[in-house]
Amino acid sequence: MADQRVAVVTGASRGIGRAAATTLAAAGHAVVVGYAGDDAAAKQVVEQITAAGGQAVAGRADIADEQAVAKLFDTAEQSFGGVDVVVNSAGRMSLSPIADLDLADLDALHRTNIRGTFVVAREAARRVRTGGAIVLFSTSVVGLQFPGYGAYAASKGAVEAMTLILAREMRGRDVTVNAVAPGPTATDLFLDGKDEATVERLAKQPPLERLGTPADLAEVVAFLAGPGGRWVNGQIVRANGGII
């Protein structure tokens, strides 16, 4: 289909990225399932999309590697004819008080969350077609300032700055640039290392009194990527159930 929209989704083998990939596919996008290393999980996502009648291919890429990311976009162009939507949901999280953080962990976190986001955003800015959308990922912790999240929130603060500036740099291209900033969401990334009491406490914080789900965030992504979100641009959407 000449008018079919094509989405590149990073971090799409699990969690929010997987939900975003399948939701965009259900909305009619052909999807490139970007993933870092889990071949089997990425294959499952492709099979899930194609079994439902959609189109998808997998592409392996470390998002901080500019050559690998360029190949991911090449895959979209060669398989489906171009790129209309880019969703960068790949990310890393390290939790520690600032006083105790291992700087190797800081460097690894920033390599993925800052450099990786920048590399994907740069490629998206070069390749996304007119009428397209770029969706990056921040975190509501930038505003909530939970102890232990200093390095992670700092990296996502950089993403928010990137988002707002890129939206302005895309002037005249009819391409929107926004970031989704989830609150506590039931993903492996979030649940890892947290005991049951901590998870329960965080789940009670929003007025809706539950954790977010990957599907909740995927619907926000689909809105920003779709026709209903065309007038939303240069925004940080804090999708967190109302935590303040």
The rounded distance, in Å, linking the Cα atoms of 196 and 193 is 10
Active-site residue, 35 included: no
Could you report how far apart the first and last alpha carbons of the chain are, in Å?
44
Give the chain's length: 244
Catalytic residue chosen out of the listed positions 73, 80, 137, 152? 152
CA 62 to chain centre: 14
Torsion of CA 113, 134, 27, 54, to 10 degrees: -70
Q: Give catalytic residues, as residue numbers.
A: 152
